[in-house]
Amino acid sequence: MRKLCPNIYTIGPLHSLHKTKLMANKNPPWQETTYSNSVWKEDKNCMLWLDKHDPKTVIYVSIGSLATMTVEQLLEIWYGVVNSGKPFLWVRRPGSITGGYDKSRVPIELLERTKEIGCIVEWAPQEDVLAHRAIGGFLTHSGWNSTMESIVEGVPMVCWPHHADQQMNSRFVGEVWKIGVDMKDTCDRLLVEKAVRDIMDSKHNAITQSTNTWASLAKESITEIGSSSIHLGRLIDYILAMTMSSTRM
């Protein structure tokens, strides 16, 4: 890439780098200057629900702020998650289900089992959720922000990519980084159930070794001498130099 464009600055994971810079700012205290980049109102009661569960036992489900699913896809994923037997926290934002979703037409056994092991909210504080000790896996649309947030926290992923860069992201998760399972664009309850069981049970140890490695690399990159911090400094210097140059002109 640098042969085509020399000025490339690798400064991710941005959310972690941002927090690090705020924490380094002693005046004012970083806790008072943090803010949420959420586009929806967060339901933080789900954190209390997570507190009731043992470490690494809950699967978190979210398709982000733009992706959608049909009613048929919803039911397949819903059955797959429920049939896995794992407690689950599911974010279903308004408008994310197309095709005339009607809760009254959902099979009663699905609703009853969800009451027992599930928690469904319209939106959640995702960074806090992924950092919670109870989370053992993430069923995601493979958006870049979600992917990076999951990597930082060492959470294995089940990838169901939707559009844009998500197909490539999910392939890297499953085939290159070995930190999850790529379902591609397939949506079948048996496949969903197997994928959840893979990252939570049968392939958990192998995947966890990889997730821990990548989480360590991500955290290392945002230290004072880490690559992200160094490249951010280079980017700022480059912008300042360009500004000075244009001023002289």
In the predicted structure, residue 22 carries a pLDDT above the cut 90: no
In the predicted structure, residue 175 carries a pLDDT above the cut 90: yes
Q: Hey, which residues does 138 pair with through a beta bridge?
A: 60, 157
pTM exceeds 0.85: yes
- Cα(90)–Cα(74) distance, integer angstroms: 11
The larger pLDDT score, comparing residue 3 to residue 193, is at 193
pLDDT at 220: 92
pLDDT at 34: 47
Query: Cα dihedral angle (192, 195, 197, 199), rounded to 10 degrees?
Result: -140
Residue ranges of domains in the chain, CATH in brackets: 42-222 (3.40.50.2000)
What percent of the chain is modeled with pLDDT above 90? 67
Instruction: Give me 217's structure tokens.
Output: 């690399």
pLDDT at 15: 76
pLDDT at 1: 84
Are the CB atoms for 153 and 138 separated by under 8 Å? no
pLDDT at 53: 98
Sheet architecture: strand order including 118-121: 118-121, 88-91, 58-62, 135-140, 157-159, 180-182
Q: Which residue is listed with tokens 């699913």?
A: 69
pLDDT at 29: 54
Chain segment 156-169, per-residue pLDDT in tens: 999 999 888 999 99
Q: Hey, which residues does 139 pair with through a beta bridge?
A: 61, 158
Chain segment 120-173, per-residue pLDDT in tens: 999 999 999 999 999 999 999 999 999 999 999 999 999 999 888 999 999 999
- Cα(211)–Cα(153) distance, integer angstroms: 8
